[in-house]
Copies of this chain bind each other. A is one copy, B any other.
Amino acid sequence: MSSPSIGTRPKTTENVRAGKASQPDTRNLDSYVNKIRTDFESRLGHMVEIPTVSMDPAHKADITRGADAAVELLRACGATSAEAVPTSGNPVVVGEFKTGNPAHPTITIYNHMDVQPAQEPEWKQEPFKFRKDGDRYFGRGSTDDKGPGITALFAARYAADNRIPLNIRFVWEFEEEIGSPHFEEFLKKKLPSLATDSVLVSDTIWLSASKPAIPYGLRGLQPARLVLRTGGKDAHSGLTGGAARNPIGELAQVISKLYDARTGKVFIPGFYKDVVKPTATEIKSFKASGFNVKSFQAAHELHSLRTTNPLDVMVRIWASPTLEVHGIVGGYTGPGVKTVVPPFAEAKVSMRLVPKQDPSKAFALLKKAVKAINKDVEVHEESGLVPYDGPFTGPYADAAREAVQFGFGTTPAFIREGGSIGAVVTMQKHLKAPIMCIGLSLPEHGYHAPNENYDWGQARGGIRTFVHYFSKVAGMR
């Protein structure tokens, strides 16, 4: 297997064309990384300060602004072309670094540039104000997923400057956080022009700050809203209590009949039917992953867990389905106790799904179960995500392992991950190319959490990792 020539040696069209490659020259790469740091930070800061919250319609204009800025950013970093592709929902930004030689293989790098809302009271700063504190970068979206995306972009810039014989295509989505409802529409629309030899996704999280992870499986997701309206306005619980229905009480009853929150066991009939349990090989690899319960708890600030057995925790978060309640709307939430009977309540729930579970089927089971408990509760479907089950052996896995070793000086664990990236499954279906998930985020970066951050150590190692990976896959066709 050949790999491209990069480094300080004079580059010629000849040795690029020959597809000849060696290990990247670290001195040159390191000086590049040091040189671009200020530029990297200012580009990241600019993107973080655009509040591209896809979940909130109030941020529609920010999404447009974010997509324009993303096109600008790609061009500024040397993309040979960049455009925002409109869909029925938010646009998808596509940027290309073409070598000019169609014989060179193509890699597609997926990231998303939309972010979670940031209304948590625990934020110690304006969430959409970029703040640099030493090597650490704070702000919503810094690690999920703007930081890793821009890290990959700076790696691509190096690859282009150093003529790595690889066509690099960026696909930046703006609807990942709402389940990628129009990503398939985008893929179908642009399909012939999106042909690729492999896909790299950088939107996943390490096991810990010292243990990189390459997830080969992702859980699926099916969110839903359970809504119960029993009145037109807040009623006085003295004047009506006893006769009036209480929608929060009734939803609490529904929830507690859907699952046992203490153990996590889901009571929805048929829920576990299609679940494929992890194989013995996988369990062995989980055990060897270096997963540590204490570090996991510390990173996510979980005071206690449903279980502290390490394997049980891993199987629960990577390979088991869940039901979760994310919030209950309706009723009084200010200081003290206001004795109202609220007129309606909405529970925001979701199910994480594992291979062979189907989101639509899971929703149908949920709806049936809810209606059997309380027929007045409306069950609203939100965009679902199919679980992902990918390869963890073969040349791309080997290249990824070597690249991480080169970038960070330590080997990654091949694990499953508990999160969901809808686009991954859609790309698997339409692009029919191997997908590798090389994430750069750390548990303590706070995905979806207040005071989200990213750091220079991960960006620096990330650029090194991706450059090495590019040099490897440039030779695979």
Binding site for B on A (CB under 8 A): 55-57, 116-117, 119-120, 122, 178, 205, 218-219, 221, 223-225, 229-246, 248-253, 255-257, 259-262, 264, 296, 300-307, 312-313, 316-317, 320, 322, 324-343, 348-350, 352, 374, 376, 382, 417-420, 443, 446-451
Q: How far is the CA of A449 from the CA of B231 in the complex (A)?
A: 12
User: 26 interchain pairs (CB within 8 A)?
Assistant: A56-B334, A117-B334, A225-B337, A234-B449, A237-B322, A239-B418, A239-B419, A239-B447, A241-B322, A242-B316, A243-B317, A244-B302, A245-B305, A246-B325, A249-B256, A249-B261, A249-B325, A250-B261, A252-B252, A252-B253, A252-B255, A253-B262, A256-B256, A325-B331, A326-B332, A340-B449
Q: A261-B253, A331-B326 are in contact. Are A418 and B242 (CB under 8 A)?
A: yes
A253 nearest CB across to chain B (Å): 4
A338 touches B420 (CB 8 A): no
Chain B residues near A335: list those with CB within 8 A: 55-57
A248 touches B417 (CB 8 A): no
Residue of B nearest to A418 (CB): B238
A238 touches B331 (CB 8 A): no
A336 nearest CB across to chain B (Å): 4
Q: A57-B335, A231-B302, A246-B325 known; 4 other A-B pairs, CB under 8 Å?
A: A117-B338, A232-B303, A235-B302, A249-B325
B352 touches A340 (CB 8 A): no
B303 touches A350 (CB 8 A): no
Q: How far is the CA of A230 from the CA of B330 in the complex (A)?
A: 22
B302 touches A331 (CB 8 A): no
Chain B residues near A312: list those with CB within 8 A: 243
Chain B residues near A313: list those with CB within 8 A: 243
Which of B236, B256, B340 is within 8 Å of A252, CB to CB?
B256
A230 touches B302 (CB 8 A): yes
Which of B218, B245, B343 is within 8 Å of A306, CB to CB?
B245
B303 touches A326 (CB 8 A): no
Q: How far is the CA of A306 from the CA of B230 in the complex (A)?
A: 11
A55 touches B261 (CB 8 A): no
Q: A317-B243, A327-B331, A339-B350 are in contact. Are A417 and B238 (CB under 8 A)?
A: yes
Q: A224-B337, A326-B338, A341-B324 are in contact. Are A240 and B57 (CB under 8 A)?
A: no
A283 nearest CB across to chain B (Å): 16
A143 nearest CB across to chain B (Å): 11
Q: How far is the CA of A332 from the CA of B119 in the complex (A)?
A: 9
Q: A240-B300, A303-B229 are in contact. Are A120 and B234 (CB under 8 A)?
A: yes
A301 touches B448 (CB 8 A): no
B326 touches A242 (CB 8 A): no
A435 nearest CB across to chain B (Å): 17
Which of B117, B120, B237, B253 is within 8 Å of A352, CB to CB?
B237
Q: How far is the CA of A250 from the CA of B304 in the complex (A)?
A: 13
Chain B residues near A243: list those with CB within 8 A: 296, 302, 305-307, 312-313, 316-317
A238 touches B420 (CB 8 A): yes
Across chains A and B, which 8 residue pairs bring their CB atoms closest together, nearest first? A238-B419, A327-B331, A249-B261, A232-B301, A242-B316, A223-B337, A252-B252, A327-B332
Residue of B nearest to A232 (CB): B301
Q: How far is the CA of A225 from the CA of B338 in the complex (A)?
A: 11
